[in-house]
Structure 1
Amino acid sequence: MLRRLLIRDFVIVDTLELEFQGGFGALTGETGAGKSILIDALSLALGERADGAAVRTGRERAEVVAEFDAEPESALARWLADNDFAAEGAVCLMRRVVDAGGRSRAYINGTPTTLAQLKAAAECLADIHGQHAHQSLLRGDAQRQLLDGHAGLGRLAGEVAEAWRAWQRLREARERAEQDAEAGTRERELLEWQVKELENLAFDSQQWQEDNQEHSRLTHAASLMAAAEGAVEALDEGEMAATSLIDRVLGPLRELVDVDAALGEPLELIEGARIQLSEAAHALSRYRQRLDMDPARLAELEERLQAVMTLSRKHRVSSEELPELLERLSARLAELRLTADPAALAEHESAARQAFETLARRLTQGRTTAAATLSRQVTEAMQELAMAGGRFEIALLSLAQGASYGLENVEFQVSANAGQPLRPLAKVASGGELSRIGLAIQVIASQAGEVPTLIFDEVDVGIGGGVAEIVGRLLKQLGLSRQVLCVTHLPQVAAQADWQWSIAKETRNDQTLSRVTVLEGQGRIEEIARMLGGVKVTDTTRRHAQELLGSA
């Protein structure tokens, strides 16, 4: 669950550090007081898109840090360990820094991370239901995704989509082959010649370097030999060889070193130089003997190097890229050979289609089971939400050829009143009905998930009266097993909360800033009364507020 939230210089928040409790918590306040700013800040820490406009005016950057529990053996703890983000203690720190230019940095437990990893961790931490979530339920793709998410079918749906794409690639390849068989034949013949040419070259990067070194040595063999012979002559073999001259110097010094010990150090240095010159002369002599002037080998190497350079220029790649080129051309040739065989191509296409259909049927089975359960649960909830006699059903509408998302479309259907036929949700639900149905779906779908923190941002818009009290009870019941945070304007919902905060704006140093107050006792009664009575709070509204809190 969410333990702490630290916000600095975010929109109208200067510095705010909040400690959260478990159960059901309500965030209340006047319209425009900044209640949703807390949710926006948390969303940023969980990987939502960064925007420089979120940085408080006059500041260079905004920062949000969210601390969550990471209980051992939980999905989050396993993810942290698998991705090398585990920290001492059962904790997960999600941090996001955004500068005024819109650039952002992300961290998990103090380690820099990518936005994709931040979002992956967030999937184990919290679900945020925004205030426009009901409207999204009117879209077919959102309905399908909600059903798949509720049923835990997300991974299988991804596999179905990949199998669909593989099938479509092979189908398109077969169609292209049928439409352009002559062009394919010409390309195949050209590739066969190019691949054979590259295979015969048998280029090897290491051998290429060795051949270049040997070629350079043979090309300069005469100069190398002359230089070696001249050096040996000067050092050890000529009449005026360096070693002979040094020997003449060493004789008198050795005789006189006993007379004056101060000659010992220069004598030692000269003797050392004599030894090194002699070793150098021997090494050069051996080098001269090994040096090979082989015109035939030089011609062979020149021919080899020329062949490599010719193919490199021909294909407009560097010599080192020839093996990669061969691999690429071979793969394309294999593809063309396949397309040249209609029977083989059709066989591959058929196998890909069968693989797609096998996975898609499994997805259909999972959706069918989940749709029946969710339909029944939402229908039961509708009876409590002032829609007695109403029905909700998830229809799976078969697709003849299937699609990337499976063998059916998912359609939410509703009958708002007894005796009315089921019709698509987008066509029959009024604003209030949509809010109630949407909230029921979200609460029920959340009950089936494993995410420990659920956040509802003004999702109770369009609801009032006794229905609002029922919504509050639903959220309170959900809070028995999860941490539930709800931004609400409804006193009947807020009164059901286990704890409540008030968010308000205040002016400090000519700046409008957000302030959060923890409400307890009389403070909570006053806030519920304000929500009930508006601008003027009377004793009557206070008594009503006290009754609401007492009944909760």
Structure 2
Amino acid sequence: MLRHLDIRDMLIIDRLELEFRPGLNVLTGETGAGKSILLDSLGFVLGWRGRAELVRQGAEQGEVLAEFDLPEGHGAHKVLEEAGLPGGESLILRRVNSRDGRKTAWVNDRRCSGEVLRQLSETLVELHGQHDDRGLLNPRGHRALLDAYGGHEAKLAELRAAWRAWSAAEKAVTEAQAALAAMRAEEEFLRHAVGELDALDPQPGEDEILDTSRRLMQGAEKIRDDISRAAAALGGEGAEGAASDALRWLEGVSDKAEGRLDEPMSALGRALVELDEAARGVEACLDALAFDPRDLEECEERLFAIRGLARKHGVGPDELNQFAEELRGRLAALDRGDGELADLRKTRDAALADYTAKAEALSTARRAAAARLDAAVSEELAPLRMERAVFTTRITAAEPGPDGHDEVTFEVATNPGAPSGPLARIASGGELSRFLLALKVCLVGEASGLTLIFDEIDRGVGGATADAVGRRLASLAQSGQVLVVTHSPQVAALGGHHWRVEKETRDEETLSRVVPLGEAARIDEIARMLSGDRITDEARAAALSLVEAR
């Protein structure tokens, strides 16, 4: 609910503070007094697009502050939370327009964008009038209005979940088809590459082993002769034989040497052991160096094959085995791709069937709600002297989406048999206002927490029709807050709170001000609306009669 509005230096308002209340708040005044300026200023602080130049002549900047009460569960709380702005039981919006056109906004003393203001405004205020393209005249919102009227929240939630499931399943099918097509494009390569790798069967570390073996075999011939000579020098025909002979000779005479040969003989024995070990090692080396020339050829062929395949696929020789596993995996995915794609399509088709069933169920519910709404609006039109008019909620097929496959449009025909069409194109000014009011009365449940503003919605009507308009506005105001700008005394008489907008001239400057009216002043204002500038006793009596009859 709008609690407070503070306007400074906007158009012809220098300073104005208004305290609004629950119920029906009425703004009256002569044409040109500045009633529209109040709405322009309120629209400015709410982020609505309006006049380009709002700053009062001679002022450096204009400023508007609006304070709203926010009960628990109000839609503005979610907007504040998503925007990272502080909340609470009240909401203070402030917006400044400088002379050079720059606009700055604050929400609860925190800077914010105009877009955040507009999002908040959708939860705070709803404007209805002949030029309103944000509310009932906007066909894009008619489906949501019908769903709110019909109480379709649960069905909508189920349908949106089904839409998400179908969309996800459709995406999975599309991605699988693309992946399968890409794999099929490289199928020949995959099968050839896997065949090559399987035939070669490279093992981790094999490259290093083969390289070492090759180098050893390549160098074997160069060192084998010297090792053979060393083996001969160490063997029985060489050092080992000579040492054995020497030991045998010394053993034959050692008993006559008085122990002087014991140490040399012991040393010779140890030397023979070392010589024997050395000889065996050299012989083992010779055995290792013995190879068939075909072994070197085979080693080199395999080594070159491994390295060539590694270069071909851009991987290291030791990575070939892992690379082969990856290719086998892609080939296996290709081989089972058709089956997996078929399973995904089944899931997609089941999700589509579920979505379609839920969309049809919601369409049925919408058609039933549309019939109820059409009947309710027709009942409201009769007291508004439009009993011959026809209101129709038209439901047509639309592209499937999260909210179903229906397009909803409110259409009217001003007389039976006349062509019907959108509200804004078919109805005249006065008719349009009454259509909007009748529709709003029927849809009031969906506007919980909103301040409803009606800008001269009673234009072009009078007498009993104006009284019917006023009574419906008062009915709307019983459960909330309604602000109405009116020239109708019948409407003004039904207000719970009354302000008069008037002009005054000070120091050759024309300014607009708003005066709250007590009972006596209110009677005079309604009398002025009845009779014109000259207020007669008869006009006062008629005004009093209107007020007492409410």
Which interval holds the TM-score relative to the shorter structure?
0.5 to 0.7
Query: 1:122-137 alignment to 2 at 5 Å?
Result: 122-133=121-132
Report the AA paired with residue 115 of structure 1. Answer: G
Q: Deviations over 1:413-435 (max 9, x none)?
A: 44655x65884455764543333
Match of 1:370 in 2: 369
SS of 1:407's partner is strand
CA distance in 2 between partners of 1:6 and 1:139 (Å): 30
Q: Is the 8 A contact 1:29 1:489 kept in 2?
A: yes
Question: How far did residue 450 of structure 1 move?
Answer: 1.0
Report the AA paired with residue 133 of structure 1. Answer: D
Question: How far did residue 487 of structure 1 move?
Answer: 0.6
Q: Is the 8 A contact 1:44 1:64 kept in 2?
A: yes
SS of 2:53's partner is helix
CA distance in 2 between partners of 1:352 and 1:189 (Å): 35
Q: Is the 8 A contact 2:8 2:64 kept in 1?
A: yes
CA distance in 1 between partners of 2:361 and 2:188 (Å): 44
Distance 1:406 1:77, change over 3 A: closer
Q: Is the 8 A contact 1:50 1:103 kept in 2?
A: no
Question: How far did residue 7 of structure 1 move?
Answer: 1.0
Question: How far did residue 394 of structure 1 move?
Answer: 1.6
Match of 2:477 in 1: 479
After the TM superposition, which parts of structure 1 deviate over 6 Å for at least 4 consecutive aligned residues? 152-179, 181-190, 341-349
- Give unmatched runs, 5+ long, in structure 1: 191-333
SS of 1:133's partner is coil
Match of 2:507 in 1: 509
Pick from 485, 491, 494: which aligns with 1:493? 491
Q: Bigger shift: 530-539 or 408-417?
A: 408-417
Q: Bigger shift: 42-51 or 168-177?
A: 168-177
1:115 partnered with 2:114: yes
SS of 2:387's partner is coil
Report the AA paired with residue 521 of structure 1. Answer: E
Question: How far did residue 109 of structure 1 move?
Answer: 1.5
Question: How far did residue 472 of structure 1 move?
Answer: 0.4
Match of 1:197 in 2: none
Report the AA paired with residue 464 of structure 2. Answer: G
Q: Is the 8 A contact 1:134 1:434 kept in 2?
A: no
Report the AA paired with residue 91 of structure 1. Answer: S
Q: Is the 8 A contact 1:411 1:424 kept in 2?
A: no
Q: Is the 8 A contact 1:125 1:452 kept in 2?
A: yes
Pick from 424, 435, 438: which aligns with 1:437? 435
Q: Deviations over 1:113-164 (max 9, x none)?
A: 2333333333332222233239986664354454345457699879979998
Distance 1:410 1:101, change over 3 A: same
Q: Is the 8 A contact 1:391 1:422 kept in 2?
A: no
Q: Deviations over 1:337-364 (max 9, x none)?
A: x99x996896687577557535644542
Match of 1:96 in 2: 95
- Give unmatched runs, 5+ long, in structure 2: 190-332
SS of 2:123's partner is coil
Aligned residue pairs total 405
Distance 1:122 1:153, change over 3 A: farther
Question: How far did residue 403 of structure 1 move?
Answer: 6.4
Q: Is the 8 A contact 2:130 2:433 kept in 1?
A: no
**Structure label with greater radius of gyration:** 2
Distance 1:127 1:441, change over 3 A: same
Query: 1:94-243 alignment to 2 at 5 Å?
Result: 94-133=93-132, 140-141=139-140, 143-148=142-147, 150-151=149-150
Query: 1:295-334 alignment to 2 at 5 Å?
Result: none
SS of 1:376's partner is helix
RMSD: 4.4
SS of 2:366's partner is helix
Q: Bigger shift: 26-35 or 92-101?
A: 92-101
Match of 1:268 in 2: none
TM-score for the superposition, normalised by structure 1: 0.61
Match of 2:534 in 1: 536
SS of 1:462's partner is coil
Question: How far did residue 368 of structure 1 move?
Answer: 3.0
CA distance in 2 between partners of 1:147 and 1:123 (Å): 17
Q: Is the 8 A contact 2:130 2:429 kept in 1?
A: no
Distance 1:378 1:17, change over 3 A: same
Question: How far did residue 71 of structure 1 move?
Answer: 2.8
Distance 1:188 1:446, change over 3 A: farther
SS of 1:477's partner is helix
CA distance in 2 between partners of 1:356 and 1:479 (Å): 40
Match of 2:69 in 1: 69
Match of 1:283 in 2: none
Q: Is the 8 A contact 1:150 1:449 kept in 2?
A: no
Q: Deviations over 1:204-243 (max 9, x none)?
A: xxxxxxxxxxxxxxxxxxxxxxxxxxxxxxxxxxxxxxxx
Question: How far did residue 174 of structure 1 move?
Answer: 9.7
Q: Bigger shift: 122-131 or 515-524?
A: 122-131
Q: Deviations over 1:60-103 (max 9, x none)?
A: 3221111111234544456656745124xx32112222223333
Distance 1:366 1:80, change over 3 A: farther
CA distance in 2 between partners of 1:158 and 1:28 (Å): 44
1:55 partnered with 2:55: yes
Match of 1:453 in 2: 451
Q: Is the 8 A contact 1:435 1:463 kept in 2?
A: no
SS of 1:540's partner is helix
Distance 1:363 1:66, change over 3 A: farther
CA distance in 2 between partners of 1:189 and 1:29 (Å): 86
Q: Bigger shift: 513-522 or 390-399?
A: 390-399
SS of 1:63's partner is strand
CA distance in 1 between partners of 2:171 and 2:504 (Å): 63
Match of 1:263 in 2: none
Q: Is the 8 A contact 2:434 2:457 kept in 1?
A: no
Distance 1:381 1:186, change over 3 A: same
Q: Is the 8 A contact 1:496 1:549 kept in 2?
A: yes
CA distance in 2 between partners of 1:430 and 1:74 (Å): 35
Distance 1:11 1:481, change over 3 A: same
Distance 1:130 1:103, change over 3 A: farther
Match of 1:282 in 2: none
Question: How far did residue 540 of structure 1 move?
Answer: 2.4
Report the AA paired with residue 58 of structure 1. Answer: G
Distance 1:188 1:50, change over 3 A: farther
Question: How far did residue 546 of structure 1 move?
Answer: 1.9
CA distance in 2 between partners of 1:155 and 1:40 (Å): 38
Question: How far did residue 506 of structure 1 move?
Answer: 1.8
Residue identity over aligned pairs, in percent, reads: 40
SS of 1:55's partner is coil
CA distance in 2 between partners of 1:481 and 1:184 (Å): 65
Q: Deviations over 1:479-534 (max 9, x none)?
A: 21111110111111111101110111222233222111111222112211221222
Match of 2:14 in 1: 14
Q: Is the 8 A contact 1:393 1:412 kept in 2?
A: yes
Q: Is the 8 A contact 1:166 1:352 kept in 2?
A: yes
SS of 1:123's partner is helix
SS of 2:494's partner is coil
1:521 partnered with 2:519: yes
